[in-house]
Amino acid sequence: MRKENSTHHHNEKAITSNCPITSTMLAIGGRWKIIILWHLKSGSLRYNEIRKAIPHISEKMLIQQLKELMQSGWVDKKDYQEIPPRTEYSLTPLGASFIPILDRIYEWGVENRITDLVKDVDG
């Protein structure tokens, strides 16, 4: 979250104010949000299940990304108020509506062998 009076915040608002593409990319941008959405597409997951599904994400980053996805309305958190604690994360209708787009991005990546191209660039 940015300071509301910062230059970066004002520039960001100016860029995204009337552009659905930039607004969407801002909402799901970064390395992990799309991956989290991808793993939640099959249904609710507990925090540790998400953590195991994305082994290279730090605990701090996972918590931050889940919090941002919840604040922006893409992910919902359900706390069952049990002992031991049980919390599940799931897609909201907004998040679920994005899954066909993610599926198409995946298909496009396979069709165009994007993983091979990335390997070639990395050396």
- Residue 26 burial (CB count, 10 A): 14
66 plus 84 within the same structural domain: yes
Under the banding of pLDDT at 50, 70 and 90, the label for residue 122 is low
Domain extent at residue 26: 1-30
56 plus 21 within the same structural domain: no
Q: For 1-123, where are the E strands, in sequence order?
A: 45-46, 75-79, 87-91
37 plus 81 within the same structural domain: yes
19 plus 36 within the same structural domain: no
pLDDT at 18 over 90: no
- Residue 88 burial (CB count, 10 A): 17
16 plus 45 within the same structural domain: no
38 plus 14 within the same structural domain: no
66 plus 117 within the same structural domain: yes
Taking only the tens place, the pLDDT of each residue in 31-67 is 899 999 999 999 999 999 999 999 999 999 999 999 9
